[in-house]
Amino acid sequence: MTDHEAMAALYKRLEKVVVPEAWEGMAADITAIRALKKEKNAVVLAHNYMTPEVYFGVADVTGDSLALAREAAAMQVDVIVCAGVHFMAETAKLMNPSRIVLAPDLQAGCSLADCITPQDVRALRTKYPDLPIITYVNTSAAVKAECDICCTSGNAKKIVESLGVPEVVMVPDEYLAQNVARQTSVTIIPWHGHCEVHEQYAPQEIAALRRAHQGITIIAHPECPPDVVAQADFSGSTVNMSDWVAAHHPRHVMLLTERSMSDNAAVDHPAIDFVRPRLSCPYMKLITLASIRRALETMTYSIEIEEAIAAPARRAVERMVAVK
Ligand code: 13P
Ligand code: SF4
């Protein structure tokens, strides 16, 4: 298949989720990125919140934070471009210390990662000297380095229970901690961080949605407030959401999470009506075809983590990956 034919076939898949005026520029970037990946022996890891042209156009691996961390550990390439936010690029680097890991835009942070510092964790350690500290993967490597084990929204309950203790501290997402606490007998002491996107969903919105769309299925990410999750039909990480949709094929569904996730799921499931959520993550949206192309052309921005931080942070991620 020629490049032109490949782009025409891709556009056919994406025509409902990309604006036609933008496609010519996107196709040029996708063709260039595909060539750069070959030239540099590079792969693109893309989070489920990437826009469809990134997700379907240039990604080699897609998934939730857990899948990206796991897959990053198995990459036999020279260069990994992380199409996601900064903590995801750091996690990829922790798992691939000898490879070049590129973050396309250093401004692509995360409100959860920004709401806790290593000093905060040390203060928690002083306050709760006997309790293990679990860090959500949405934190800096420096915070992970102070914690005992990492978790993601896809495995948080399993990680909490794997420690075999009656009480744990979990940072930084208060809502994730509260949502997990409802599913386990382990007492979870939370930190007070929130995702600036998911915290905006409110229970009244669910009631209004159910009135407006008869029979709609509502799926909420566990970063949503507990009173939202309690009213949803299912809650799980971004991959858990996709798997649930693939298994249950609801007729109308709304994924209460970042907006692009629904665009990508709608491409994969054309027979399902995805009611689009209103919110998108401003940090994830900084990662574009243009920034990925620039990253590969200039080989920037390379993630570097000093070993004094990387070694304990890696241990926290590896402990998580080892929990079956
Ligand atoms: P997942 O691990 O579920 O993909 O979530 C990551 C994230 O940042 C959600 O806001
Ligand atoms: Fe962070 Fe929220 Fe954006 Fe996820 S959606 S990357 S938790 S700010």
pLDDT at 121: 98
Q: What is the pTM of this model?
A: 0.96
- Max CA-CA distance within the chain? 62
pLDDT at residue 218 greater than cutoff 90: yes
Question: 36 C-alpha vs ligand 2 centroid, how far in Å?
Answer: 29
Residue 21, exposed/middle/buried by CB under 10 A (0-12, 13-18, 19+)?
exposed
Q: Average pLDDT of 96-111? A: 96
pLDDT at 3: 84
113-195 with 198-274: one CATH topology? yes
pLDDT at residue 319 greater than cutoff 90: yes
**Domain coordinates in residue numbering, the chain:** 3-109+284-298, 113-195, 198-274
Nearest CA to ligand 2 atom 5: 281
Using 50, 70 and 90 to split pLDDT, how confident is the model at 80?
A: very high
Residue with the bigger pLDDT between 8 and 66: it is 8
Ligand 1 site residues, Cβ closer than 6 angstroms = 48, 64-65, 138, 152-154, 195, 221, 223, 237-238
pLDDT at 65: 82
Residue 55's alpha-carbon distances to 52, 84, 202, 267, in angstroms, are: 5, 11, 28, 11
User: At what angle are helices 3-14 and 20-40 packed, to 10 degrees?
Assistant: 130
> What would the pLDDT profile of 206-217 be if each residue is shown by its tens digit?
999 999 999 999
- Within 13 Å of residue 314, how many CA atoms lie on the same side as its CB? 15
Please provide the CATH number assigned to the domain covering 3-109+284-298. Answer: 3.40.50.10800
pLDDT at residue 72 greater than cutoff 80: no
Say which CATH topology domain 113-195 has: Rossmann fold (3.40.50)
Strand ranges for the chain from DSSP E? 42-47, 61-63, 79-83, 100-102, 133-136, 149-151, 167-171, 187-190, 217-220, 234-235, 252-256, 273-274
Ligand 2 touching residue 283 (CB < 6 A): yes
pLDDT at 144: 98
Could you identify the atom of ligand 2 that is nearest to the CA of residue 84? 6
Strand, helix or coil for residue 47? strand
Q: Average pLDDT of 88-105? A: 94
- Counting residues of the chain whose pLDDT is more than 90, the rounded percentage is 93
pLDDT at residue 74 greater than cutoff 80: no
Q: Average pLDDT of 71-94? A: 91
Which superfamily is assigned to 198-274 in CATH? NadA-like (3.40.50.10800)
115, 237, 320: which to mutate for ligand 1, most atoms within 8 A of CB? 237
Q: What's the mean per-residue pLDDT of the chain? A: 96
> What would the pLDDT profile of 160-173 be if each residue is shown by its tens digit?
999 999 999 999 99
Using 50, 70 and 90 to split pLDDT, how confident is the model at 136?
A: very high
> What would the pLDDT profile of 233-262 be if each residue is shown by its tens digit?
999 999 999 999 999 999 999 999 999 999
Q: Average pLDDT of 107-123? A: 98
Q: Average pLDDT of 9-14? A: 96
45, 48, 65: which to mutate for ligand 1, most atoms within 8 A of CB? 65
Q: Average pLDDT of 131-144? A: 98
Q: Average pLDDT of 41-50? A: 97
